[in-house]
Every structure is written in structure tokens, then in C-alpha cells.
């Protein structure tokens, strides 16, 4: 009897402290902790789907699997768009650096003078001072 009572008390304490621990954290923090504990995104998603299956009537709806697949496709499209945006920003930065490196005014005084002489002549491409 004593052992059963102690187990019930331990379960009650765990049930009381779990919501308190979660209450101070945002949903994303809690999910990130579960993601880390599960060891990766696929085991995390499998556990989430399993919990949804056991604790709700989600999969009683014949369209539920399709809706879950659609959410996954939308998430993938969003991730790809973010990656393209990062790549475009990086390419723009590299292009700006390349232009800065190719600007004759940054190569030295002589190159700057030759560039200025060409610009004054109208950009004919004939710069005799450098040959």
C-alpha cells in the first residue's frame, strides 16, 4: 500500500510540474526541445503524427493525410523560396564586390589615370599612355 501511494504521489507531482515547466516557455521552444530530443526532423514528425493520431480524431477524416501532405509541400516551397532569397542576396553582394575589385580607380594611380583619360576621350578604348 505504501508503495502504491508513493507512486501516485510521484505521478501527481510530475503532472503538476510538467505544465509549470511548459507554461514559462513558448511553443517553439518546447517543440525545439522535443526536436532535439527525438534526434532529427523525421523522428520528430513521426512522433507528432503519432500523438495526433492517438489523441485526436484527425485521421478519422479521409482527407487528413492529403492535408498533412499539402502542409509538407507548402513548407518545402517556403524553405526553397527562403534559400533562393539568401542565394540572391549573396550573389548581389558578390557582384558588388567584383565590381569594386574591377573598378580601375581602386587598382592604383596609373590605372586610375588611364581610366580617366579614356573616359575624357569618350571611351574609344584607345589608351596610349598604358602601352
Model confidence over 51-85: pLDDT tens digits? 998 999 888 989 989 999 999 999 999 999 999 88
Length of the chain: 131
Whether 66 and 54 map to the same domain: the answer is no
| pTM value > 0.75 | no
Residue 122 within any structural domain of the chain: no
Q: Which of 27-36, 58-67, 99-108 has the lowest mean pLDDT?
A: 99-108
- Using alpha carbons only, give the angle 33, 46, 21 rounded to the nearest 5 degrees: 25
Instruction: Share the mean pLDDT of the chain.
Output: 75
Residues 6+ apart with CB under 8 A from 130: 110, 111, 114
Residue 35 within any structural domain of the chain: yes
What does the pLDDT look like over 36-47, one tens digit per residue?
999 899 999 999
Residue 20 within any structural domain of the chain: no
Residue 124 within any structural domain of the chain: no
Neighbours of 112 (CB within 10 A): 14
Higher pLDDT, 18 or 93: 93
Share of the chain above pLDDT 70, in %: 56
Residue 127 within any structural domain of the chain: no
**Shortest CA distance to 30 belongs to which of 13, 49, 48, 16?**
48
- pLDDT value at residue 66: 92
Contact between 122 and 128 under an 8 Å Cβ cutoff? The reply is no
Residues 6+ apart with CB under 8 A from 49: 68
**Domain coverage including residue 109:** 61-117
Whether 99 and 65 map to the same domain: the answer is yes
Judged against a pLDDT cut of 80, whether residue 105 lies above it is answered with: no
Judged against a pLDDT cut of 90, whether residue 114 lies above it is answered with: no
Distance CA 64, CA 58 (A): 6
Domain boundary among 58, 77, 98: 58
Distance CA 129, CA 45 (A): 69
Whether 73 and 38 map to the same domain: the answer is no
- pLDDT value at residue 113: 65
Amino acid at each position: 500500500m505504501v508503495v502504491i501511494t508513493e507512486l501516485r504521489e510521484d505521478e501527481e507531482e510530475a503532472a503538476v510540474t510538467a505544465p509549470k515547466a511548459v507554461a514559462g516557455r513558448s511553443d517553439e521552444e518546447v517543440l525545439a526541445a522535443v526536436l532535439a530530443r527525438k534526434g532529427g526532423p523525421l523522428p520528430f514528425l513521426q512522433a507528432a503524427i503519432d500523438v495526433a493520431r492517438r489523441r485526436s480524431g484527425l485521421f478519422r477524416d479521409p482527407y487528413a493525410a492529403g492535408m498533412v501532405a499539402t502542409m509538407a509541400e507548402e513548407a518545402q516551397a517556403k524553405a526553397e523560396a527562403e534559400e533562393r532569397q539568401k542565394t540572391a542576396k549573396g550573389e548581389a553582394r558578390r557582384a558588388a564586390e567584383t565590381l569594386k575589385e574591377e573598378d580601375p580607380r581602386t587598382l592604383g594611380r596609373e590605372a586610375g589615370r588611364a581610366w580617366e583619360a579614356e573616359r575624357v576621350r569618350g571611351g574609344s578604348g584607345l589608351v596610349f599612355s598604358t602601352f
